[in-house]
Structure 1
Amino acid sequence: MGMQLVMTAKRILEKLESSGFEAYMVGGCVRDMLLNRPLHDIDICTSARPEEVISLFERTVPTGLKHGTVTVVEDDVPFEVTTFRTEEGYSDYRRPDRVQFVDSLKQDLSRRDFTINAMALDRFDRLYDYFGGRRDLERQVIRTVGEPRERFAEDALRMFRAIRFSGQLGFSVGEKVLSAIRIHRRLLEKVARERITHEFQKLLQAPYVEQGLRLLWSSGITRDVSPFHYLHKGLREILSFSIQALTERERWVLLLYHMDEQYRASFLHALRLPKAFVKEIKRLLRHLEHYEHVIDVEDIPAYDLIRLGEEDFVSLLKLNQLMLNRSVATDLRQQIRTVLDNLPIRHPQELCVNGKDLQLFRKRSPGPWIQEELDRLVKAVVEGKVPNEREAIRAFVMEDEKHE
């Protein structure tokens, strides 16, 4: 996929160049190519104006003409093609007040955030690196293009992006950059919350998440920048764990578990996370609090395992083992599957009767009693009191009705 993406991008570059324009692959895709990381998209910059780009390609979408961006669709893949530009005035600390088109690649690259994101490649794989980006890749350090305080005054989100890139790449943050974040961190409160949430989610998905969270702490952001100040108290303990083996949702739950209960709702509300995701992590958090000392598969009744389900039970044990033992069993999922394989049913939905069957057995109208009875039957089947067979369950239900 990556090689095909590059070949398609080079066709776009060639078409622009054959029409008399300069054109380059630019930014994060160049960084990732130099690091041999997977490519997901390729951005292109060019001396061509937006209207000239539109006239050259059959399939285009005018996604950001005001800022010089046209989306060119080639081989059903979108490529953002942006005119060389400079930016001026950032009165809201996030977007330029004015964009000016220019003819110089170097001018365009000079407005970008970090040196490792300010490199370009032409279609012959020649690298254009005016600010030491390749050297910083080799040194594994994140530095801004120019003075950090100027870059952060232009777009305060860049402070959070520096921390997120550290978590994604395992790079250190340059001392001047970290110092500027400590001084200007309160500017983050002027940034749209959705943009910060997007960066924080990427950090919690990152392979070097511990490094990123450590920077979040040392930068002072968790001390007094809303809503991350809710994390400050619990983050110190979390940083004593090795959390790389945790999934994203397990990392979220660990953060919430170490937060004062009274602040959890405010934190989640402030980040404006998707409702389905919030519901999921709240459910897992409830399990964690209810079974706070369960660290082995044998520590929980079979019915509870069935009710929780494999994924939630894996997460529950991983988190408890991490917090209580400081390590997670490598064969945890296999242990759980072995137990499930030896049970009559692995999930409540595998019960061979449903609510309509119960109404027929008992000749009763619908009501809350149906779910209560289904839960009781699942428990009875799992505990071996009745086989998971329709007639056996009907007899079990009717026998109980005689004694009511």
Structure 2
Amino acid sequence: MAISVKMDKIPTEFQEALPILRKIEAAGYEAYFVGGSVRDTLLHRPIHDVDIATSAYPSEVKSLFKRTVDTGIEHGTVMILDHGNGYEVTTFRTESGYQDYRRPDEVNFVRSLKEDLKRRDFTINALAMSESGQITDLFGGLADMDAKIIRAVGDPNERFNEDALRMMRAIRFASQLDFKIEAKTLAGIKCHSQLLAKIAVERTHSEFVKMMMGVDAQNGLNLAIETNLYKYMPELGNWLAQLQTIVNSHFRLTNEPQVWSLLAFYFNFSAEAIRTFLKKWKTANKVINDVILTTELLFRMSSNELSNWDLYRAGRENVENAVTILNAISTSDFSGYVADYDHLPITDKKQLKITGGQLIKDGILQPSPQLGETLSYLEKAVVDAKVANTQPALISATKSFINEDD
């Protein structure tokens, strides 16, 4: 049964996009705000992207605006550039034939809002809002939102066969929103979990990280295990016992390096194992390096074997990552390590009170590999508080180091 309610106050993000809606409607077409931005507004969550759906076909949309970009023209999406903002406007459409379990083989543009909303993944995402704030709900999304339920639009089996990534999105929403997955939808995920192997790793990666950063990440991870989705994620199928242990811990993660560092810590991964594991997840190199440094800190902090050099080498951000994880999963308080980092004699090599150029100028060293070795020695000696960070002390330490080499 269709339900229509009105939002009393339209958030600023929508108000800024109202001229787009009004211009489309003035030309005789329908236009609505749709999807996640409407859902998040109703849930009083931050709004990210404001998406618009319309009965106007792509060519008709492009004829109305001076500045457009064909971001997904084959699927009916045109980006309208307006006062520094970009708004994706997508034509109402139906889809059919999903041979790769991700993208439709055929897209047909239609003039019906109902037909467009029917193809969406979950009822809480199948909502449309007019310029006046009127919410159109054709599939019970508002009731499901009140009940904190994730429910597929129509037949879950059809929805997951159309796009297997929707199974990951379901457990991600359960984690982010602290919602439960409705029984038939959950059964559909269990039945079709193997289809996740058809999805590009990069897409699974994005959903998994978001899930692990949710307010109820333990629930999301438990659902991944319960539905067998974890078996079709890179390498996770080999670590069931450790994953179940993580589920029984209490953690709240705030960034991607923390997500992977928590796993690497429980999996007892070496630096090389981390690199191999995360390469299979198509993880960015910087994230991989941060995870290696953070995980090494986790092992050292938990065994109380941390040195100044460990802190320095990791950097403040990774020290904070390690402390966040250990404080979440342990009864001890590791926050003091952040203060220890802040009290290091230096936190960057550039803070050394001497340079290679000065050592050469003073005739102490010549350009050579020994110069680099000496500067590395001074850097570590200052960090470990064995040499004071003053020019006289550094010059004296340099001469001693050279003489030892000789």
Cα distance, 1:187 vs. partner? Answer: 0.6
Q: For residues 127 and 323 of structure 2, what CA distance do their matches in structure 1 show?
A: 45
Cα distance, 1:236 vs. partner? Answer: 1.0
Cα distance, 1:286 vs. partner? Answer: 3.2
Whether contact under 8 Å (1:194, 1:271) holds in the other structure is: yes
The yes-or-no answer on 1:240 pairing with 2:242 is: no
The yes-or-no answer on 1:165 pairing with 2:167 is: no
Indicate the SS of the match to 2:11: helix
Unaligned runs of 5+ in 2: 1-9
- More moved, 232-241 vs 300-309: 300-309
Change (3 A) 1:147 1:352: same
Change (3 A) 1:14 1:274: same
Cα distance, 1:326 vs. partner? Answer: 3.8
Whether contact under 8 Å (2:275, 2:288) holds in the other structure is: no
Cα distance, 1:291 vs. partner? Answer: 5.0
Change (3 A) 1:374 1:130: same
Whether contact under 8 Å (1:204, 1:252) holds in the other structure is: no
Instruction: List aligned pairs for 1:48-63, cutoff 5 A.
Output: 48-63=56-71
Which residue pairs with 1:88 in the alignment? 96
Which residue pairs with 1:349 in the alignment? 350
- More moved, 19-28 vs 195-204: 195-204
Instruction: List aligned pairs for 1:149-188, cutoff 5 A.
Output: 149-188=157-196
Which residue pairs with 2:131 in the alignment? 123
Cα distance, 1:304 vs. partner? Answer: 4.0
Aligned match of 2:321 in 312, 315, 322? Answer: 315
Whether contact under 8 Å (2:160, 2:167) holds in the other structure is: yes
- More moved, 187-196 vs 278-287: 278-287
Which residue pairs with 1:366 in the alignment? 368
Query: 1:149 is matched by which residue type in structure 2?
Result: N
Q: For residues 210 and 254 of structure 2, what CA distance do their matches in structure 1 show?
A: 14
Indicate the SS of the match to 2:278: helix
Query: 1:173 is matched by which residue type in structure 2?
Result: I
The yes-or-no answer on 1:270 pairing with 2:280 is: yes
Q: For residues 279 and 313 of structure 2, what CA distance do their matches in structure 1 show?
A: 28
Instruction: List aligned pairs for 1:96-135, cutoff 5 A.
Output: 96-135=104-143
Q: TM-score, normalised by structure 2?
A: 0.88
Q: For residues 26 and 342 of structure 1, what CA distance do their matches in structure 2 show?
A: 50
Q: For residues 101 and 245 of structure 1, what CA distance do their matches in structure 2 show?
A: 41
Q: For residues 306 and 188 of structure 1, what CA distance do their matches in structure 2 show?
A: 41
Which residue pairs with 2:86 in the alignment? 78
Cα distance, 1:48 vs. partner? Answer: 0.9
Q: TM-score, normalised by structure 1?
A: 0.88
- More moved, 136-145 vs 242-251: 242-251
Query: 1:376 is matched by which residue type in structure 2?
Result: Y
- More moved, 223-232 vs 160-169: 223-232
Whether contact under 8 Å (1:136, 1:142) holds in the other structure is: yes
Instruction: List aligned pairs for 1:264-343, cutoff 5 A.
Output: 264-294=274-304, 300-323=306-329, 325-326=330-331, 328=333, 332=335, 335-336=336-337, 338-340=339-341, 342-343=343-344
Tell me the C-alpha RMSD between the 2 structures: 2.5
Whether contact under 8 Å (1:243, 1:251) holds in the other structure is: no
| CA shift digits 1:263-312 (9 cap, x unpaired) | 64553222111122112212322343455412xxxx63444433443333
Q: For residues 49 and 289 of structure 1, what CA distance do their matches in structure 2 show?
A: 57
The yes-or-no answer on 1:43 pairing with 2:43 is: no
Change (3 A) 1:307 1:145: closer
Change (3 A) 1:327 1:16: farther
Q: For residues 226 and 345 of structure 1, what CA distance do their matches in structure 2 show?
A: 39
- Give the aligned length: 393
Whether contact under 8 Å (1:168, 1:203) holds in the other structure is: yes
Q: For residues 384 and 78 of structure 2, what CA distance do their matches in structure 1 show?
A: 63
Query: 2:185 is matched by which residue type in structure 1?
Result: V
- More moved, 383-392 vs 57-66: 383-392
Whether contact under 8 Å (1:230, 1:267) holds in the other structure is: no
Q: For residues 284 and 375 of structure 1, what CA distance do their matches in structure 2 show?
A: 22
Whether contact under 8 Å (1:322, 1:328) holds in the other structure is: no
| CA shift digits 1:157-209 (9 cap, x unpaired) | 11011011112111111111111111110011111222212212222333332
Which residue pairs with 1:392 in the alignment? 393
Which residue pairs with 1:32 in the alignment? 40
Q: For residues 377 and 229 of structure 1, what CA distance do their matches in structure 2 show?
A: 46
Q: For residues 280 and 181 of structure 1, what CA distance do their matches in structure 2 show?
A: 33
Which residue pairs with 1:20 in the alignment? 28
Cα distance, 1:377 vs. partner? Answer: 2.5
| CA shift digits 1:375-401 (9 cap, x unpaired) | 433444456554322133213322454
Instruction: List aligned pairs for 1:133-148, cutoff 5 A.
Output: 133-148=141-156
